[in-house]
Amino acid sequence: MKSKQHAPVIAAGFVAIFVIIQFIPVNRINPPVEADIQVPAEIKAILKTSCYDCHSHETIWPWYSKVAPLSWLIAHDAAESRERLNFSAWSRYTKDKQHVLISDVIDIIRDGEMPPLPYTWMHAGSEVTPDELKILEEWAME
C-alpha cells in the first residue's frame, strides 16, 4: 500500500529531473565546411544520403536531437563520427589517408556496419543498397 502512496511523488520526481536535464547545453553546431570531398554527383548523392549526417559539418539536427538525454547521445555520436571521418574537412587528409578512408568506408558498408541500424530506423532510405555499394566500389577502384 505504501508504494502506491509514493507513486505520485516518484513520478513527479522523474518529471522534474526530465525537465531539469533539458537545460544542460549540448553542442549541436555545424562548423563551416572547410573543403568538401570532390566526387561525381552520383557518389556525392550516396554519401549525403547515408553518411553526411554524422560524417560532415552538414548534420541535420532533427527535433529529437534537442530532447535530453537523446540529445547527448546524438551530439556525442556526431562529434565522434566527425573525428573519425569528416567529408567537410577532406583537405585535412593526405592523399594516402583519403585512399585509406575511402577503402575503409566501403569495407564498413559492405560489412553492414554503416550506416548503423538505429540511424537507418530513424532515417528511411539511408541504407546503402547493393547497387549503390557497387557504384562506390567501382568509383574507389578508379
- Based on the structure, what is the number of domains in the chain? 1
DSSP state of 111: T
Rounded CA separation 60/49 (Å): 11
* 10 close to 103: Cβ distance less than 8 angstroms: no
pLDDT for the residue 17: 82
Domain that holds residue 51: 2-141
* Distance from chain centroid for Cα 130: 21
pLDDT in tens, 37-83: 999 999 999 999 999 999 999 999 999 999 999 999 999 999 999 99
